[in-house]
Amino acid sequence: MNIKILVANFIFIFLINHACTNTSPNNNYIKNDYPIEDTASQEKIKENIQIREIDKKYLIGKYNPETDSNFVKIPSKYCIYRTEYIHREVYDALLELLDYANSQGIKLKIVSAVRNYDTQLYLWNSRVSPNYDIYTIKNVLKYLAMPGTSRHHWGTDVDFNSTALQYYNSYEGITIYEWLCENAPKFGFFQVYTSNRNTGYNVEKWHWSYKKLAIDFQENYKNKIFCPDLGKFRGSEFCGELDIFNNFVFEINSEFL
Ligand SMILES: [Zn+2]
């Protein structure tokens, strides 16, 4: 091997390592530029083998978290607006994350955790006026999921501190976001709507998901949920035309794919 090939190899290996260790969401697109696809798909195959069956009603939020034993209440000291619930398999990791933040002087709280179908429908109807058209729906879809398509139905996802863009541009918001990027993955949480996507919801710095369980929900969702499963509501007739599942539900941080 001559010296030129050695140097080229060295530079190539350095670039790959750099891309893999750089977890900043703003730089995630770098991952696609290097041949790490094989590793990602091998991991996915491994994970697929372990995917468990999840009933359709939990995929589209047709349950009541107050009475369903799969969900537990989050202590009110961590909730900003109302009583919040989370999937019982996410609870320990979430509480560890919140307690760890608190111990470091980071005021991390929950705006929204579990939202069932009815809650999502209420939010949807409050944004979509009765005389809507497809442009209205596209506009609402910048930040709000159609009923039956929200990851908040799964009990695996959480919005932290605020869903206002200006908050995450403030000093406090920037501090919180940087802290989350550095620490949330240690507890199994990853940002879902990052900047390295082509379509779907706008970037949401507040929305984080517990990957270990969310992957199960995602894989079940892919195989079991189709437009008619969402039911009828304002704009549901555009589910197919807007390719809601590919363009929104699965247009997420490549960390989850
Ligand atoms: Zn959210």
Task: Kindly give the distance from the C-alpha atom of residue 158 to the centroid of ligand 1, in angstroms, as a whole number.
Answer: 6
Q: What are phi and psi of 158, to 5 degrees?
A: -140, 140
Task: Kindly give the distance from the C-alpha atom of residue 144 to the centroid of ligand 1, in angstroms, as a whole number.
Answer: 8
Q: What is the mean pLDDT of the chain?
A: 87
Does residue 180 register a pLDDT over 90?
Answer: yes
Task: Kindly give the distance from the C-alpha atom of residue 160 to the centroid of ligand 1, in angstroms, as a whole number.
Answer: 8
The whole-number pLDDT of residue 23 equals 37
Can you tell me which residue has the tokens 């605020």? Answer: 162
- Cα–Cα distance measured from residue 203 to residue 14, given in angstroms and rounded to the nearest whole number: 29
Task: Kindly give the distance from the C-alpha atom of residue 1 to the centroid of ligand 1, in angstroms, as a whole number.
Answer: 52
Task: Kindly give the distance from the C-alpha atom of residue 228 to the centroid of ligand 1, in angstroms, as a whole number.
Answer: 23
Residue 191 host element (H or E): strand 189-191
Does residue 42 register a pLDDT over 70?
Answer: no
108 sits in the region (left: phi over 0; alpha: psi -120 to 50; else beta) called: beta
Q: Span 11-32, mean pLDDT?
A: 34
Report residue 230 as tokens.
């969402």
The whole-number pLDDT of residue 84 equals 98
174 CB contacts (<8 Å, ≥6 apart)?
168
Whole-Å CA distances, 160 to 35, 97, 169: 34, 12, 14
The whole-number pLDDT of residue 2 equals 52
Q: Are the C-beta atoms of residues 128 and 146 closer than 8 Å to each other?
A: no
The whole-number pLDDT of residue 44 equals 55
The whole-number pLDDT of residue 146 equals 98
pLDDT classification of 6: cutoffs 50, 70, 90: very low
Whole-Å CA distances, 77 to 80, 85, 102, 179: 8, 13, 11, 20
Task: Kindly give the distance from the C-alpha atom of residue 112 to the centroid of ligand 1, in angstroms, as a whole number.
Answer: 7
Length of the chain: 257
The whole-number pLDDT of residue 50 equals 80
Q: Span 243-255, mean pLDDT?
A: 97
- Kindly report, residue by residue over 77-113, the tens digit of the pLDDT: 999 999 999 999 999 999 999 999 999 999 999 999 9
Q: Span 44-62, mean pLDDT?
A: 82
Q: Span 62-66, mean pLDDT?
A: 98
Q: Span 116-124, mean pLDDT?
A: 98
Domain over 37-256 is classified CATH 3.30.70.100 = no
Task: Kindly give the distance from the C-alpha atom of residue 4 to the centroid of ligand 1, in angstroms, as a whole number.
Answer: 50
Of 47-51, 186-190, 248-252, the poorest mean pLDDT is in: 47-51
Task: Kindly give the distance from the C-alpha atom of residue 195 to the centroid of ligand 1, in angstroms, as a whole number.
Answer: 15
The whole-number pLDDT of residue 43 equals 58
Read off the DSSP letter of residue 156: -
- Cα–Cα distance measured from residue 226 to residue 69, given in angstroms and rounded to the nearest whole number: 26
- Cα–Cα distance measured from residue 231 to residue 207, given in angstroms and rounded to the nearest whole number: 25
Does residue 235 register a pLDDT over 90?
Answer: yes
In 55-87, which positions are buried (b, 16+ CB within 10 angstroms) versus exposed (e)?
Answer: eeebbbbbbebeebeebbebeeebbeeeebbbb
- Cα–Cα distance measured from residue 148 to residue 150, given in angstroms and rounded to the nearest whole number: 6
Measured torsion, CA atoms of residues 236, 195, 161, 218, in degrees rounded to the nearest 10: 50
pLDDT classification of 151: cutoffs 50, 70, 90: very high
Residue 110 host element (H or E): strand 110-112
Q: Span 205-216, mean pLDDT?
A: 98
Task: Kindly give the distance from the C-alpha atom of residue 206 to the centroid of ligand 1, in angstroms, as a whole number.
Answer: 7
Count of Cβ atoms closer than 10 Å to residue 192 Cβ: 22
The whole-number pLDDT of residue 48 equals 53
Task: Kindly give the distance from the C-alpha atom of residue 207 to the centroid of ligand 1, in angstroms, as a whole number.
Answer: 5
Does the predicted model carry a pTM greater than 0.95? no
Q: What are phi and psi of 209, to 5 degrees?
A: -130, 140
Task: Kindly give the distance from the C-alpha atom of residue 105 to the centroid of ligand 1, in angstroms, as a whole number.
Answer: 24
Q: Span 31-58, mean pLDDT?
A: 62
